Amino acid sequence: MLDQLPELIDPVVFAERTSHLVGAVKLHRMSRLSDFLFEKEGDLKVDLHFYKEGKVPTIEGHIEGHLNLICQSCLKSLPWEVHKQVKIGMVQTIEQADRLEAGLEPLVITEERMSFPSMVEDEVIISLPDYPRHAEPCMEYTNVKFVEPEEIEETSDNPFSVLAKLKNTGAQ
Ligand SMILES: [Zn+2]
């Protein structure tokens, strides 16, 4: 079993030292991701390199794992495989973010240390569909009763039924 990775990291220092983080992050450490999950047990496998590309501290690697999402149609479990490629350029300002080379996702670093599980869950959440649901129709309608128009009782004072009778008589 892989080691649980730390809560707080200093990603810029990691990049300056050229570091490699491999391990697991438990799903219950990621509260925002948990909102999407039917099953909150388990973890995500993380394999990330921190290095400098020119002057830009960069994080590159992947996040893998098996999730059970909540199907938004039937609210039951929806098995989902995570294969998220990560390539992040760390910046301090929005202007720097605009100047990043294509293919680098900007991450604005405002404090030295940041929550590592929070960074991982951000990466996974953006890879999830907006509206996760089973590929095949899964919604059950058994508890919904439709009232057919034919079942509505006709009453003698319904002006339309009177008109219908007149029309029938006139045609003969
Ligand atoms: Zn479903």
> CB–CB of 113/130 below 8 Å?
no
d(CA 85, CA 122): 13
> How far does the centroid of ligand 1 lie from the alpha carbon of residue 2, in Å?
32
Q: Identify the H or E element spanning 152.
A: none
Q: Token digits for 65?
A: 């794992």
State the Cα–Cα distance between residues 87 and 85, nearest whole angstrom.
7
Token pair of 59 as six digits: 């994080």
pLDDT at residue number 3? 74
* Predicted local distance difference test score (pLDDT) of residue 123: 97
Measured between alpha carbons, how far is 10 from 110 in angstroms, rounded to an integer?
Answer: 11
- Considering only CA atoms, give the Rg of the chain: 28
Ligand 1 mean position, distance from CA 141 (Å) = 13
For residue 143, how far is its CA from the centre of ligand 1 (angstroms)? 16
Cα-to-centroid distance, 139 and ligand 1 (Å): 6
Res 166: pLDDT: 58
* Secondary structure class of 138 (helix, strand, coil): coil
In the reported structure, the alpha carbon of residue 159 is separated from the centroid of ligand 1 by a whole-number distance in angstroms of 46
Report the DSSP pairing between strands 43-53 and 56-70: antiparallel
- The reported pLDDT for the residue numbered 4 is 80
Taking the centre of ligand 1 as the mean of its atom positions, its distance from the CA of residue 37, in whole angstroms, is 13
Q: How far apart are the first and last CA of the chain?
A: 88
CA–centroid distance, 148 to ligand 1, in Å, is 27
- Walk along the chain (172 residues) in steps of 10 and give the mean pLDDT of each run: 82 96 95 95 97 96 97 95 97 93 92 93 95 88 57 57 56 46
Ligand 1 centroid, distance to 113 Cα (angstroms) = 39
Q: Ligand 1 center to residue 7 CA distance, Å?
A: 34
pLDDT of residue 161: 56
Q: What is the pLDDT of residue 34?
A: 94
